[in-house]
Amino acid sequence: MSHSPLNWIDEELRELDAVGLRRRLTTRSSSQAARIVVDGQELINFGSNDYLGLAAECLNDVVIDAIRTHGWGSGASALVTGRGSLHAELEAALADFEGTEAALLFPSGFAANVGAITSLASKGDVVFSDAKNHASIIDGCRLSGARIQIYPHGDLDYLRMMLPQASAFRRRLIVTDGLFSMDGDLAPLCDLAALAEQFDAMLMVDEAHATGVFGDRGRGTAEYWGVEEAVHVRVGTLSKAAGSIGGFVAGSRSLIEWIANRARPYVFSTAPPEAIAAAGLAAMKRIQEEPHRRTELLSRADRLRRRLMAIGCDTGESASQIIPIMIGEPEATMRFNASLRESGFFVPGIRPPTVPEGESLLRISLSYAHTDDMIGALVQAIERLLLVRGGEPLMDANEH
Ligand SMILES: Cc1ncc(COP(=O)(O)O)c(C=O)c1O
């Protein structure tokens, strides 16, 4: 093999392969729905975050109409000439939906998290971040230049111990996912809100997986726990329950203006096409007008969790439409994933670095679009695979 300074990459990829951590690109040739075709195989899809079943069809017409009236590309960052009337309309609708003074649209939820955190914290500040927060929060913390204090997942005692020592920092920010993306559990927002108030800290909650799903009006976990007033910075995304793309930050007018001035992923990135704002507007309308989608989704998730537990699956602390089946090691996880795939189900295997070592899992992502038959067939397939394994528990006791 001729020498190239990039030769190390093939070696690294082989090493990833050897420990079951190599990701492979797949190609979906159907639309994103409950039934998909991936690499030529038809599968029942338990891998998308289209929780309310809006992605495949519900938004198509408004997008096509918006392209006809507003064109496609936005051509510049929002602060230059990229922000059009539909973007402004969506930001007003998001603020209205969230019950906040203002909202700001980002190209993605990832960009919204990075933009918000780096605007709020810098050198001389401290950020308290849950160990299971999403990668975009982690990267935002790293880029901010602030001291990062990672607290064990949901560990309020740790925070109670550390926060009193944080008064020496200029500002304090506590940041958490509202609904954790892999384990499907909820952050203890009531306690976090009380701690933030006690120690004069800003509280930021990423509602990526909860927007449209949790809370009476679908605003997310802050609404569900009744602590909206205590959450200073709310991040959401239109890429999951809203079935589209684009992230947003909602909060006070001055917060939003500050972020629009400071967030580099906002200032230095082209605004998304206005048609995306049209999809966002239509999705927010559906979320508000069709609450049965989220109530039905959560009660189906409850039933599915109970059925999985009854056949011996460890679903961890899941309390939502995200239901993990804890496996442990990546190789075993991917074997289970492959067997389910042979049975016609797509259930993604989640491995490090997405989850910590020893905590690989299958992530069932439930959607309003799944029928009872699809859910029943999944449970049967999992049960069959467990029987093939001789009924042994999916996770060794010592893997916990
Ligand atoms: C908790 C959480 N926050 C933010 C994001 C990023 O959102 P988006 O996909 O819109 O960039 C994700 C996406 O996976 C997520 O799980």
Q: Do residue 176 and residue 262 come from a single domain?
A: yes
3 secondary structure, DSSP code: -
- The domain containing residue 43 runs over which residues? 19-52+291-399
Residue 3 placed within a domain: no
The answer on pLDDT for 381 being more than 70 is yes
Asked whether 177 lines ligand 1 (CB < 6 A), one says: yes
pLDDT digit string, tens, across residues 107-148? 999 999 999 999 999 999 999 999 999 999 999 999 999 999
Residue 282 placed within a domain: yes
Q: Do residue 356 and residue 300 come from a single domain?
A: yes
Query: What is the C-alpha to C-alpha distance for residues 179 and 171, in angstroms, rounded to an integer?
Result: 25
Q: Do residue 249 and residue 168 come from a single domain?
A: yes
Asked whether 348 lines ligand 1 (CB < 6 A), one says: no
Asked whether 108 lines ligand 1 (CB < 6 A), one says: yes
Q: Compute, in angstroms, the gap from residue 110 CA to the centroid of ligand 1.
A: 5
Q: Do residue 125 and residue 247 come from a single domain?
A: yes
Asked whether 363 lines ligand 1 (CB < 6 A), one says: no
Give the active site residue among 240, 244, 318, 367.
240
Query: Is 240 one of the catalytic residues?
Result: yes
- Residue 95 token pair: 């603020």
Residue 8 placed within a domain: no
Domain boundary among 273, 289, 305: 289
Residue 14 placed within a domain: no
ω into residue 353 within 30 of 0, thus cis? yes
Q: Do residue 307 and residue 253 come from a single domain?
A: no
What pLDDT, on a 0 to 100 scale, did the predictor assign at position 57? 85
For residue 176, report the phi and psi dihedrals to the nearest 5 degrees: -150, 150
Q: Compute, in angstroms, the gap from residue 205 CA to the centroid of ligand 1.
A: 12
Which residues are CB-contacts of 22 (< 8 A; sequence separation ≥ 6)?
13, 16
What pLDDT, on a 0 to 100 scale, did the predictor assign at position 398? 36
What pLDDT, on a 0 to 100 scale, did the predictor assign at position 387? 82
Q: pTM for the complete prediction? A: 0.95
For the domain that residue 92 is a member of, what is the CATH number? Answer: 3.40.640.10
Q: Do residue 357 and residue 384 come from a single domain?
A: yes
Tokens 């009744």 belong to residue? 226
Q: Do residue 179 and residue 300 come from a single domain?
A: no
Q: 26-35: list long-range contacts, CB under 8 Å, 24+ apart.
A: 31/55, 31/56, 31/57, 32/56, 33/57, 33/369, 34/367, 34/369, 34/370, 34/371, 34/374
Written as one letter, the residue type at 319 is: A
Q: Beta strand pairing status for 147-151 and 172-177? A: unpaired
pLDDT digit string, tens, across residues 213-250? 999 999 999 999 999 999 999 999 999 999 999 999 99
The answer on pLDDT for 393 being more than 60 is no
Higher pLDDT, 390 or 70: 70
Among 141, 237, 248, 322, name the best residue to mutate to test ligand 1's pocket (greatest count of ligand atoms within 8 A of Cβ).
Answer: 237
Q: Do residue 35 and residue 154 come from a single domain?
A: no
Asked whether 321 lines ligand 1 (CB < 6 A), one says: no
Q: Do residue 102 and residue 238 come from a single domain?
A: yes
Give the active site residue among 87, 134, 209, 232.
209
**Residues 144 and 169: beta-carbon distance below 8 Å:** no
Tokens 């190390």 belong to residue? 8
pLDDT digit string, tens, across residues 324-364? 999 999 999 999 999 999 999 999 999 999 999 999 999 99
Query: What is the C-alpha to C-alpha distance for residues 112 and 109, in angstroms, rounded to an integer?
Result: 5
Residue 127 placed within a domain: yes
Residue nearest atom 16 in ligand 1 by C-alpha distance = 181
What pLDDT, on a 0 to 100 scale, did the predictor assign at position 390? 56
Asked whether 208 lines ligand 1 (CB < 6 A), one says: yes
Residue 2 placed within a domain: no
Asked whether 91 lines ligand 1 (CB < 6 A), one says: no
Give the active site residue among 181, 239, 320, 365.
181
Query: Is 209 one of the catalytic residues?
Result: yes
Q: Can you tell me which atom of ligand 1 is nearest the CA of 237?
A: 10
150: phi > 0 → left, psi -120 to 50 → alpha, else beta; which? Answer: beta
Residue 12 placed within a domain: no
To the nearest 10°, report the CA torsion of 345, 135, 20, 1. 120
Q: Compute, in angstroms, the gap from residue 230 CA to the centroid of ligand 1.
A: 22
Residue 9 placed within a domain: no
Domain boundary among 289, 313, 330: 289
* % residues pLDDT > 90 (the chain): 94
Query: What is the C-alpha to C-alpha distance for residues 386 and 343, in angstroms, rounded to an integer?
Result: 13
What pLDDT, on a 0 to 100 scale, did the predictor assign at position 19? 87
Residue nearest atom 3 in ligand 1 by C-alpha distance = 208
Q: Compute, in angstroms, the gap from residue 83 CA to the centroid of ligand 1.
A: 22
Domain boundary among 263, 289, 315: 289
What pLDDT, on a 0 to 100 scale, did the predictor assign at position 47? 97
Asked whether 134 lines ligand 1 (CB < 6 A), one says: yes
Q: Beta strand pairing status for 247-251 and 102-106? A: antiparallel
The answer on pLDDT for 396 being more than 80 is no
Q: Do residue 317 and residue 233 come from a single domain?
A: no
The answer on pLDDT for 399 being more than 50 is no
Query: Is 87 one of the catalytic residues?
Result: no
For the domain that residue 342 is a member of, what is the CATH number? Answer: 3.90.1150.10
* Structural domains in the chain (count): 2
Query: What is the C-alpha to C-alpha distance for residues 398 and 400, in angstroms, rounded to an integer?
Result: 5
Q: Do residue 249 and residue 138 come from a single domain?
A: yes
Beta bridge partners of 102: 251
Query: What is the C-alpha to C-alpha distance for residues 273 and 279, in angstroms, rounded to an integer?
Result: 10
The answer on pLDDT for 400 being more than 60 is no
Q: Do residue 38 and residue 173 come from a single domain?
A: no
Tokens 């309308």 belong to residue? 285
